[in-house]
Amino acid sequence: MSPSFRHLFLDFVAVRRQIFAACKDWSGFSSAFPHAQKTSSQGLETGLSKDLLQALNRLLQWPGASADKVTLTQALLDPYFPAEMIRGTIFSHVTGMRFYIDKNRPEIQPVLLRDLTQFAEAFLEIRKDLTRLPSFASRLISPDDQMHPVPSGQWCRMCGTCCEIGGVPAVPPPGVTYPSHWRALLEGTRLDNQQLCPFLFQSPGTKHHFCSIHPVKPVPCQGFDAEDCRARCRNGFLH
């Protein structure tokens, strides 16, 4: 029996994690992640990249995935793509008080592909928007291809849990106007199954997640404080 789409995605994320662990700096990421690489193709020849591309190719060979090959390739090879968070949400089994959803069930695999593809499309759109609007972008997104260290000594651990949400009111801070298509992305009406905010990015090579539009994030997100964080974490994780 051929592996499920879920198993292939989990394999890809595991390889991605190993490669991040092996990369010591941004030049390592650039070599291992072809999409991040701007100056040379030598990195594609490294063993690290080969493993990654093989895992990606196995994923893209799943029936139906080839139609979305370009989108999935670009997004999944982007160092800021929140692959670990997607593994823990969309691709995670769901256990409730009276129900259990096994994400390995064959009929769920096309849904997982749809959800991943939609998220990847949204992620790439936001990446492009933030290139055009650099003042909107978190400083953790490197404009100069250098790694920017995650901040330390703050109460927020950057776990990303508070951004595992189906939507947030798209109210910008005073003086800011969002691109019109951000409303649906923020409010959760664009994706069929929004389990985490598509503006949440992963810091390359770390377990940290951050808001990609931190300087202009919506007013309700700006008001989320340490007490809200404690309450959110006390109430347990969704998955």
Query: Residues interacting with ligand SF4, by CB under 6 A?
Result: 156-163, 165, 168, 197, 199-200, 211, 213, 217-218, 221, 229, 232-233
Minimum CB–partner distance for residue 119 and ligand SF4 (Å): 13
Nearer to ligand SF4, 58 or 232 (CB): 232
CB of 214 to ligand SF4, least distance (A): 7
Query: How far apart are alpha carbons 229 and 224 in whole angstroms?
Result: 7
The answer to whether the beta carbons of residues 125 and 181 sit under 8 Å apart is: yes
Q: Which residues are 201's β-sheet partners? A: 210
Q: Which is nearer to ligand SF4, 7 or 232 (CB)?
A: 232
- 150 burial (CB, 10 Å; 0-12 / 13-18 / 19+) is middle
Residue 125 C-beta: closest distance to ligand SF4, Å: 14
Least Å from the CB of residue 190 to ligand SF4: 13
- To ligand SF4, the closest distance from the beta carbon of 31 in angstroms equals 29
Nearer to ligand SF4, 43 or 82 (CB): 82
Is the Cβ of residue 62 or residue 136 nearer to ligand SF4 in the bound state?
136
Nearer to ligand SF4, 109 or 212 (CB): 212
Least Cβ distance, residue 201 to ligand SF4 (angstroms) = 8
**Which one, 24 or 128, has the nearer CB to ligand SF4?**
128
